[in-house]
Amino acid sequence: MKLFGPAELAALPADKFFTQLSASLSDGGRAAAYFASPADGGRRLCAALAHDRAGRLELLLSEPLSDGFPSLTPRFPQLHLFEREIFELSGLRPEGHPWLKPVRYPAGGPDPGTGDFFRVHGPEVHEVAVGPVHAGVIEPGHFRFQCHGENVFHLEIALGYQHRGVERALSAGPGARSMHYAETLAGDTTIGHAWAYCGALEALSGCAVPPRAQVLRGVLLELERLANHTGDLGALSGDVAYLPTASFCGRLRGEYLNMTALICGNRFGRNALRPGGVDFDLEPARAAELLRRLEDVFRDTEGAVSLLWDTASVTERFENTGPVSRADAAALGLVGPAARASGVDIDTRRDFPYGPYSRYDPPKPGRGDVYARAYMRWDEIIRSVRLIRGWLASLPAGPLTAPCGAPASDSAAVSLVESWRGQVCHAAFTGPGGGFLGYKVVDPSFHNWQGLALALRGGQISDFPLCNKSFNLSYCGHDL
């Protein structure tokens, strides 16, 4: 959660901006966010660059631009979707972008899922189109596979069906609904996004969140991770037709959600976080009950999940399926467990410590296949349980909330939170009165969808569900 005061928001002339952006990206910087925001006389580009290993966050701003700008995607593929989004939202055209298509198909443009798709030509090549309405109880998206028999040459993913104007509405804040917008950016990441939103506001208003609230936020965030990782391991198991773990984990995921409900009444952690702190206390009796349940459920999780690693028919399907190389993962700017599973050693909890996190030690990086992504989830489950145990053993006393006043004017705040899918980035810019000039949300899925597409290359179309579950990306978090 970093505040940038008016003095740190000097705009660079366009040529300097792109030189500096290229230099930072070549130097190992990762675009946590890259977007256009309104400025006097047009739109300016803003890049929030995370130098993960150095723990340094850099904010670059350009002077207002009026039409086009040079696309850096050919050199830095991690910018590909950011530049498409800039074009869609601001009309500033990234000249030389190799695949300048809509991102969310807002009204007034082409219908979602229409237009050009990347095509492979040849006598035996065929195309498979899936969605927007899928077979399961899941969100809508459109998938185009270019296939040769069972083999996938290329997968293109077209989203935007969940586009409901939530980022646009957030930009008009802060207001009565802002907190609820944040909590519903991606429902399964309620705590992750709520924390990022609160973090941005708190940075802007100079509010110091009390230690007890910080720890309680940490407990909720790790419970969210536990629920989702456990649920996904069950779903992966179901996708290779290994039903014991699938049914165990289906229940266990619910038990973790119920622990969140024990704290705040809602299984997803709605209304638990508010700017300044948390809205619910964890009294000693409740903390004891939470710990008791956590130990029980973790024991069952361990029993259910260890079956996976001991079952040859499971590991055989997980291993070497959907590989993403370290180089590709880094070039695409993947985040979260998907990145770590491919050997990209980044984790916001260690690189940009916030709240109660200090000296977090992420699991060893993996080798990039479904197995690695699954095992990474398990490794993180173990660590989340350890974190919660440690926090509950020495819960700081003190208030649950501190006053969070009006945001500083003409400032910016960038807020980074490691949600279960990876880094959530919120960037807020305020105008002269402290109201938002712009509010940018980057869900980890925004970085990672292209990773899923790449995982399918050269694989079998029948591996799609398995690869998809191993990433389990958010449609609504992407579509905003």
Partner 1 sequence: MFKELIERFRQGHRTAPFPPGPEKFSDRYLGLPRLTGAPLAKAAAACPVGALSAADSALDMGRCLFCGACAKADPAAVEFTRDHRLSSGSREGLVLGSGGTFRASGEAPPDLRRLFGRSFRLRQVSAGGCNACEADCNVLGTLAFDLGRFGVQFVASPRHADGLLVTGPVTKNMELALRKTYDATPGPKLVIACGACAVSGGPYAGHAETLGGAAAVVPVDMFIPGCPPHPYTILDGILRLINGDIV
- Decide whether 7 or 135 has the Cβ nearer to partner 1: 135
Nearest to 279 by CA among 397, 399, 184: 399
- Decide whether 93 or 267 has the Cβ nearer to partner 1: 267
Gyration radius (Cα) of the chain, Å: 22
Q: To which H or E segment does residue 260 belong?
A: helix 243-264
- Decide whether 130 or 331 has the Cβ nearer to partner 1: 130
- Decide whether 229 or 340 has the Cβ nearer to partner 1: 229
Residue 323 one-letter amino acid: P
Q: To which H or E segment does residue 425 belong?
A: strand 422-430
Nearest to 440 by CA among 185, 102, 250: 185
By CB under 8 A, residue 120 contacts partner 1: no
Read out DSSP for 358-381?
A: -S--PPPP--SSHHHHHHHHHHHH
- Contacts with partner 1, 29-68, as mask; x by CB under 8 A: ----------------------------------------
By CB under 8 A, residue 130 contacts partner 1: no
Decide if 370 contacts 318 (C-beta within 8 A). Answer: yes
Distance CA 16, CA 44 (A): 13
- Decide whether 271 or 409 has the Cβ nearer to partner 1: 271
Question: At its nearest, how many Å lie between partner 1 and the CB of residue 1?
Answer: 23
- CA 250 vs. chain centroid, Å, equals 23
- Decide whether 98 or 265 has the Cβ nearer to partner 1: 265
- Contacts with partner 1, 152-191, as mask; x by CB under 8 A: --------xxxxxxx-xx------xx-xxx-xxxxxx-x-
DSSP 403: -
Question: At its nearest, how many Å lie between partner 1 and the CB of residue 117?
Answer: 17
Q: Is 291 exposed, middle or buried (0-12, 13-18, 19+ CB in 10 A)?
A: middle
By CB under 8 A, residue 316 contacts partner 1: no
Region of 60 (left: φ > 0; alpha: ψ -120 to 50; beta: rest) is: beta
- Decide whether 131 or 459 has the Cβ nearer to partner 1: 131
By CB under 8 A, residue 139 contacts partner 1: yes
- Quick one: which of 271, 401, 409, 460 contacts partner 1 (CB under 8 A)? 271
Of 66-74, 250-258, 399-407, 411-419, the segment contacting partner 1 by CB under 8 A is 250-258
Of 21-29, 212-220, 338-346, 470-478, the segment contacting partner 1 by CB under 8 A is 470-478
- Decide whether 58 or 289 has the Cβ nearer to partner 1: 289
- What tokens appear for 207 in the block? 């509010």
Q: Is 26 helix (H, G, I), strand (E, B) or coil?
A: helix
Question: At its nearest, how many Å lie between partner 1 and the CB of residue 216?
Answer: 14
- Quick one: which of 318, 429, 464, 475 contacts partner 1 (CB under 8 A)? 475
Decide if 467 contacts 370 (C-beta within 8 A). Answer: yes
Residues with Cβ within 8 Å of 400's Cβ and at least 6 positions away in sequence, in order, are 210, 212, 213, 216, 277, 278, 279, 280, 281
- Decide whether 252 or 425 has the Cβ nearer to partner 1: 252
Residues in 181-240 that interact with partner 1 by CB under 8 A: 181, 183-188, 190
- What tokens appear for 248 in the block? 């165990």
Distance CA 453, CA 455 (A): 6
Residues in 89-118 that interact with partner 1 by CB under 8 A: 104-107, 111-112
- Decide whether 354 or 475 has the Cβ nearer to partner 1: 475
By CB under 8 A, residue 137 contacts partner 1: yes
Beta-strand (E) ranges in 122-276?
Answer: 125-130, 142-148, 151-158, 273-274
Catalog residues that contact partner 1 under the rule CB under 8 A. 104-107, 111-112, 132-133, 135-140, 160-166, 168-169, 176-177, 179-181, 183-188, 190, 244, 247-248, 250-251, 253-254, 257-258, 261-268, 270-271, 280, 300, 303-304, 307, 310, 474-476
